[in-house]
Amino acid sequence: MKQEPSHIVEIAIPLYLDRIFHYRVPELLRDQTLSGRRALVPFGNRKLTGYILGAAAESAIVNLKEIIELLDPEPLWTAKELEFYRWSAAYYQHPLGEVLRTALPAGINIQTRKGGAGVQESLSGGKSARREKFYLPAPQTDPPRQPSAKALEILGVIREAGGISAAELRKRFGTCTPQLRRLVELRLCRSEEREVYRDPFKNYTVKRDEPRRLHTHQKAALDAISAALDDRHFTPFLLYGVTGSGKTEVYLQAISHALQLGNNALVLVPEIALTPQLTGRFQARFGGGIAILHSGLSDGERYDEWRRIRRGLARIVIGARSAIFAPLEKIGIIIVDEEHEASFKQSDGLRYNARDLALVRGSMEHASVVLGSATPMVTSIHAAGEGRLKLLPLPERVEGRPMPVVERVAMKGNRETISVPLSNSLAETLAEKRQAIVFLNRRGFATFLVCTDCGKALTCPNCSVSLTFHRQRGESLCHYCDFSVPAPGTCPSCGGSTLSELGAGTEKLEHDLKELLPTARIVRMDSDTTSGKGSHERLLSRMHDGSADLLVGTQMIAKGHDFPEVTLVGVVNAEASLGMPDFRAAERTFQLLSQVIGRAGRGENPGRVVVQAIDPEQYAIRAAAEHDAAGFYEQELEFRRDAGYPPFTYLAAFAISGLSEQTVSDQADTTARLLAQLKSALKIRVEILGPAPSPIYRLRNRYRRQILLKAVNRGDLHRLLSTWRQQSTVVSTVRISVDIDPVDMM
Ligand code: ADP
Ligand code: ZN
């Protein structure tokens, strides 16, 4: 029997299954909007949460199962959002149910418990917002009896506030339950339960500020964005402005324009940039109505923010990459700040890139998308050259502050961490009572411990990497799996007791700087010193309030911070990031060095920089030091064209891993063979490279191989991948993941 189409819905289940399922809608639920809501459905002998996508055209299945119950009183997603998720699932070759699960805040995803009595689920989802008792003034003016003096005092506060929580009253008056009860009895006030959203801003108070008068380039940029906002046409921009050129000011005024038009704003920033400093700037300009999404939030806080956005209580959403899935409607503008940052790419599960998805969501919403950077991606520069991104240049620093003067020091044959020119400059800067930054993109004391007897380096037993020596912790540590042994210790190969330290990290740098500059007040910032809650801000505040002279750190210190008193920047081992087996190594090095160099001279006093490198003539290092971005991009694009890398090709990377080296190797071969067969059957042009061992060929005990696909035509690549997904068989002990547009190829 053919069923009535509208009584059947399509449901995505969050499992690694490439299918959408059909379910029958019970009589009682048929008059409601179902799409975008979660439903409990029978699945095999389990009951699972599924996401209703919409009505199914019809179903060939005869005994269709029925939805057990709806789990949300209202839809979680709009039809437009569902369309965006469908697009993302297809593009990243990921099951739609998993995409939808990823898009929801952790606090809402229901744990399904299997078992006899059935499933325990709550309608409102996992963690809900706190409810608190509030007291409000009541209109009673002539009470039959007068309350006590303390009760009258409390009433005064309630009237003044117009409504105040019981917790707040207890803070001011101590125990006051009897008085409150009395006031309610006398109908002088009433109480109600209110939902309280946990407020990530509650510890910060911010002064309001006014829009700055824009300089010429800023004004041209804002005018272009404003015109696009007025048109409500999808327009992608590249705001290319050196550090300190006033990009954030342009964002703020563009957002203000979007809000005036009645639209909302989504702002994506790298996780590390989500500091109170940045969010404070938005607060100072716009006051309330801002939602913040970052990894420091508890599940409950995140869920609260999500619901505030869903209910239209926030008009500006600022967040790290996952904020691209924020349930914000009427998006007029999407900003992606520091668009070149690798952290916009999710490295497991749904391997999406929030920067790329910003363009997709922006086009679906007819929004303007502003990609901002001082060092845009090579691919963005190329796209701007072809007119696919509208270029908005901010070539000068605010108030004409000069770019710092950079000196390069060749370190070939020099084994010291700090060269004479750098050490002299540091001494001078401190004598002038100014501040300095010294940057080294490696943490720990020594990146290698090598046995002087047998010559072997200490390596991780679980991963094919060397252990880093951390002197303060007294440990040699694997930075990938956290394996550790007491250090310095003895050589595990020959028992030798002399281990020599090679390759300095930030801990060693701090140690050497202390010896060199005994009176300097030094702050070190790397993931070892910033693991505690709030430690990041505490360390930075020492630079801001002048209680530290010298900031030493990894790439954590390279970005976003504005220290007006820093006039000197030192870079130790500028090629640390060049050695990576990755076609983006030069690009990353150029970006990182440019960012670090840009930390100098942001205030009134001009800055200078000393860059130490084995080969200071390497083109990425030279270009960064000479502020020659155009030269770098030109040379790098030439290399990409010759070698056949993005933007001239599209990539997909297969990662094959498992505990048995042989099984992994066999599976990798099978996979590559199938890909080659499908390629010739489909008659498409895709280059298949590998299988080859991954650069880190063993990680957390798993052996790893990779296959890289390259195509000039994106359609070819996607046809091959989706055909492969339908036909592939994978041994159960091996995991295969496919990464579209991979960023990290380690
Ligand atoms: P970027 O985001 O490009 O690094 P910012 O927007 O943070 O630059 O600007 C750098 C500094 O200059 C900030 O302190 C900012 O308040 C200030 N600034 C920005 N635009 C102007 C302007 N038009 N006039 C005066 N000061 C400005
Ligand atoms: Zn390890």
Q: pLDDT of 321-332, one tens digit each?
A: 999 999 999 999
Is residue 534, in this structure, part of any structural domain at all? yes
Q: Between 199 and 659, where is the model more confident?
A: 659
DSSP secondary structure string for all residues of 636-654: HHHHHHHHT-TTSSEEEEE
Residues 523, 580 within the same domain: yes
**Whether residue 389 has pLDDT greater than 60:** yes
**Whether residue 115 has pLDDT greater than 60:** no
Which residue among 214, 240, 249 has the greatest number of ligand 1 atoms within 8 angstroms of its CB, and so is best to mutate? 249
CB-CB contact of 106 with 302 (8 Å): yes
Q: How far apart are CA 691 and CA 688, in angstroms?
A: 9
**For the chain, how many residues are written?**
746
Q: Where are the beta strands (DSSP E) in 56-129?
A: 69-70
Is residue 451, in this structure, part of any structural domain at all? no
The protein residue with its alpha carbon nearest to ligand 1, atom 15, reads: 246
When pLDDT is cut at 50, 70 and 90, the band that residue 732 belongs to is: confident
Q: Where are the beta strands (DSSP E) in 76-203?
A: 130-137, 164-165, 189-196
Residues 372, 409 within the same domain: no
Residue 192's domain spans which residues? 130-196
Residues 551, 627 within the same domain: yes
Q: How far is the CA of 462 from the centre of ligand 2 (A)?
A: 5
What pLDDT is attached to residue 707?
Answer: 96
**The total number of structural domains that make up the chain:** 5
What number is the average pLDDT over the span 17-21? Answer: 85
Q: pLDDT of 214-271, one tens digit each?
A: 999 999 999 999 999 999 999 999 999 987 789 999 999 999 999 999 999 999 999 8
When pLDDT is cut at 50, 70 and 90, the band that residue 121 belongs to is: very low
CB-CB contact of 577 with 592 (8 Å): yes
What pLDDT is attached to residue 449?
Answer: 87
Residues 77, 187 within the same domain: no
Among residues 589, 609, 640, the one where a domain terminates is: 640
Is residue 495, in this structure, part of any structural domain at all? no
H/E/C letters for each residue in 50-70? Answer: EEEEEECCCCCCCCCCECCEE
Please state, rounded to an integer, the average pLDDT across all residues of the chain. 88
What pLDDT is attached to residue 202?
Answer: 52
The CATH number for 183's domain is 1.10.10
What pLDDT is attached to residue 537?
Answer: 80
Among residues 605, 640, 675, the one where a domain terminates is: 640
Residues 538, 591 within the same domain: yes
Residues 227, 341 within the same domain: yes
Which residue among 242, 248, 397, 562 has the greatest number of ligand 1 atoms within 8 angstroms of its CB, and so is best to mutate? 248
Q: For residue 692, what are the β-bridge partners?
A: 706
When pLDDT is cut at 50, 70 and 90, the band that residue 199 belongs to is: low
The CATH number for 77's domain is 3.40.1440.60
Residues 732, 657 within the same domain: yes
What number is the average pLDDT over the span 431-435? Answer: 93
When pLDDT is cut at 50, 70 and 90, the band that residue 27 belongs to is: confident
**Whether residue 206 has pLDDT greater than 70:** no
Residues 282, 336 within the same domain: yes
Residues 289, 415 within the same domain: no
**Whether residue 47 has pLDDT greater than 70:** yes
Is residue 455, in this structure, part of any structural domain at all? no
Is residue 709, in this structure, part of any structural domain at all? yes
Residue 219 Cβ inside 6 Å of ligand 1? The answer reads no
**Whether residue 741 has pLDDT greater than 50:** yes
Is residue 42, in this structure, part of any structural domain at all? yes
When pLDDT is cut at 50, 70 and 90, the band that residue 726 belongs to is: confident
Ion ligand 2 neighbours, Cβ < 5 Å: 460, 462-463, 478, 480-481, 483
Q: Which of 162, 594, 533, 116 is nearest to 340 (CA)?
A: 594
| Range from 4-18, 46-60, 246-260, 726-740 carrying the lowest mean pLDDT | 4-18
What number is the average pLDDT over the span 46-55? Answer: 93
Residue 215 Cβ inside 6 Å of ligand 1? The answer reads yes
pTM: 0.84
| Range from 106-115, 230-239, 555-564 carrying the lowest mean pLDDT | 106-115
Please return the burial class of 180, using the count of CB atoms within 10 Å of its CB with bins 0-12, 13-18 and 19+. buried
- pLDDT > 70 fraction of the chain, expressed in percent and rounded: 94
| Range from 41-50, 292-301, 471-480 carrying the lowest mean pLDDT | 292-301
Among residues 342, 365, 399, the one where a domain terminates is: 399
Residues 89, 151 within the same domain: no
When pLDDT is cut at 50, 70 and 90, the band that residue 134 belongs to is: confident
Is residue 467, in this structure, part of any structural domain at all? no
What pLDDT is attached to residue 114?
Answer: 34
Residues 25, 48 within the same domain: yes
Residues 163, 286 within the same domain: no
Residue 716 Cβ inside 6 Å of ligand 1? The answer reads no
The CATH number for 226's domain is 3.40.50.300
The CATH number for 697's domain is 3.30.70.600
- pLDDT > 90 fraction of the chain, expressed in percent and rounded: 55
Q: pLDDT of 494-509, one tens digit each?
A: 888 888 888 889 999 9
Name 386's Cβ contacts closer than 8 Å, sequence gap at least 6: none
Is residue 548, in this structure, part of any structural domain at all? yes
CA of 249, closest atom in ligand 1: 6
Q: Between 131 and 711, where is the model more confident?
A: 711
